[in-house]
Structure 1
């Protein structure tokens, strides 16, 4: 099949997907919201959950499939699960109009009044976008790169991609509806512990949704049975396991290959390590931990990168999804530059 025909078909499928999402969320806003919160509302939303699970299978692009799987199949579904019980961002006052309800449902954004922090490194959205575009072509020449350098590039690309996509979504939302939004990440390379990395610095939209939808219910239900401390530990592990399973699903959508469970093991391992870290902190005491964090911080980043190389990136690299995604980005950039050139020529 020729590339123009493929692009035309993909665009057609994407339009149908957007219409499906719009109709589904309109149903949630106008009809499901009128059903009493709890099990009945959850049941009324179950057809939407099923539809959202099928949506990424309609696309073939690595980039579009991954983004739809993350934004719609994962985040929107969990937000709607919270909405079923009148909780989460979709039940807050800003989501009382349909456009804002859809924006909060579909995009990795979170309203908040947290004070803005000045980053220690001068990396704003344009600089991150430029760095991403400069690093991207190296993926197609990975056979000429040292494995450790390639690993560092993959980690940088993942960080930059998350922040660029989330930052663009935040900028568009703020421009359209004027909502004050939280930053997607908070300099994860400066993490002082695994708890700091996963809880306060990396991909905060996903962290917040998992906290509301998995951690808090699990720890609350198990609290009377196991006690507060053990219930907290169980809630942490449950949130990481759910994150691993959702990443496994996204990887399936992108690769169309049977799950290897590597990425699930990655998140389960980190969940157990965070629990172990709590125990070490309790043993050392918070003041002593502050002294150790100067050493433990770099070790934390090294541990995240090392385990990502072992378990997280492997399925995508084996399948060639990394190279296909890089090629799609470069094709998109060439298309945009071509249109700019034509505009200037006609101008």
Structure 2
């Protein structure tokens, strides 16, 4: 219960800070005046997650505030990003600033590009995935603690960690999207689009997996970096350099998220993982657009993409989590969070 009180205090403080941004900062002249007034809020949002001891709540709050909200606020300083479009509605401004969601744009160029994109109503589309993710978290953690998994940690734990992280991300994204959709009547951009159907790394990271991240990195990092690089090199090279820059920033922010989760000093393996993904994704684009490498059959591209993701993740992404015994931390924290549930339900979950 004390941790829930801490969560409530943190989010009340965050909402109060965002009201200040809405009423004061957004009305200042853009660029430097707004930036000076926003930097204390950025610093506050970096500190607030540390008030929460629960790994679940601290990690989710850090993702929402220290990463997503801070990038949106910095974009607002330059009249960019999603917030300037909703500066006349406090409810929409708060929801879009505090949660990892984005309103669907009316510009047809911004519509999600995959024709197979699911257009069912939000509740019918997300609640089944939410229920499945919740149902899989506990069995996945129990599997991590099994003798077989502990005897073959290097081979088995990456698979189980993939399932645990995917389920946890699904819970966070649905918990953010449903309130925003129901309360604000906003049509939201999809947050995940069948990542298992990705046929390239650029497709996976840019158009299918955890789309809150590329949606905010595109205007905050990729576009400014591409403009800056284009003044030094050709447009094709600038595109690749901007992609690498975006992956670098993503890697640094993931490293920060890992610190919030494990409380361990950074080893920079996550940063290296995302920089490597940037090199591989830009290499794909180079060979396809410049060299003219022929298109592979869809199934072959899909299997190669999944294989590269798994091998590189097993090499760089999962070792910090395995060394920190993240499954034990996660399971202990989950059990503590369920202390307030009825005993009969706890027996079923355990």
Query: Do the two structures share a fold, i.e. TM-score over 0.5?
Result: yes
Q: Which has the higher helix share?
A: 1
Is 1:117 paired with 2:117?
Answer: yes
Q: Secondary structure at the match of 2:232?
A: helix
TM-score (norm. length: structure 2): 0.86
Cα deviation digits, residues 131-169 of structure 1 (max 9, x gap) = 334323223334156643332221122222222221221
Aligned to 2:248: 241
Aligned counterpart for 2:222 among listed residues 194, 215, 221: 215
Cα deviation digits, residues 224-243 of structure 1 (max 9, x gap) = 22121111111101111111
Is 1:192 paired with 2:199?
Answer: yes
Tell me, in whole angstroms, the C-alpha distance in 1 between the residues paired with 2:95 and 2:314: 34
Tell me, in whole angstroms, the C-alpha distance in 2 between the residues paired with 1:248 and 1:285: 35
Aligned counterpart for 1:55 among listed residues 31, 48, 72: 48
- 2:60–2:172: 8 Å Cα contact kept in structure 1? no
- 1:32–1:45: 8 Å Cα contact kept in structure 2? yes
Aligned counterpart for 1:22 among listed residues 10, 15, 38: 15
- 1:191–1:297: 8 Å Cα contact kept in structure 2? yes
Aligned to 1:307: 312
Is 1:265 paired with 2:257?
Answer: no
Tell me, in whole angstroms, the C-alpha distance in 2 between the residues paired with 1:106 and 1:295: 40
Tell me, in whole angstroms, the C-alpha distance in 2 between the residues paired with 1:339 and 1:135: 21
With over 3 angstroms needed to count, the CA separation of the structure-2 counterparts of 1:271 and 1:316, relative to structure 1, is same
With over 3 angstroms needed to count, the CA separation of the structure-2 counterparts of 1:136 and 1:334, relative to structure 1, is farther
Unpaired runs of 5+ residues, structure 1, are 1-6, 342-347
With over 3 angstroms needed to count, the CA separation of the structure-2 counterparts of 1:250 and 1:257, relative to structure 1, is same
Cα deviation digits, residues 40-83 of structure 1 (max 9, x gap) = 11111011111111112222221122111111001100000111
Tell me, in whole angstroms, the C-alpha distance in 2 between the residues paired with 1:181 and 1:281: 32
Tell me, in whole angstroms, the C-alpha distance in 2 between the residues paired with 1:133 and 1:40: 48
Tell me, in whole angstroms, the C-alpha distance in 1 between the residues paired with 2:254 and 2:342: 33
The farther-off stretch of 11-20 and 223-232 is 11-20
Displacement, 1:182? 2.4
- 2:141–2:327: 8 Å Cα contact kept in structure 1? no
With over 3 angstroms needed to count, the CA separation of the structure-2 counterparts of 1:321 and 1:132, relative to structure 1, is closer
Residues matched between the structures, number? 330
Unpaired runs of 5+ residues, structure 2, are 106-110, 120-124
Q: Secondary structure at the match of 2:145?
A: helix
Aligned to 1:42: 35
Tell me, in whole angstroms, the C-alpha distance in 1 between the residues paired with 2:240 and 2:290: 16
Cα deviation digits, residues 180-239 of structure 1 (max 9, x gap) = 122211111111010110111100011110111000111012212212111111110111
Cα deviation digits, residues 60-107 of structure 1 (max 9, x gap) = 2211221111110011000001111111111113x5322221111111
Tell me, in whole angstroms, the C-alpha distance in 2 between the residues paired with 1:148 and 1:297: 22
Tell me, in whole angstroms, the C-alpha distance in 2 between the residues paired with 1:190 and 1:154: 20
The farther-off stretch of 32-41 and 253-262 is 253-262
Aligned counterpart for 2:175 among listed residues 144, 168, 172: 168
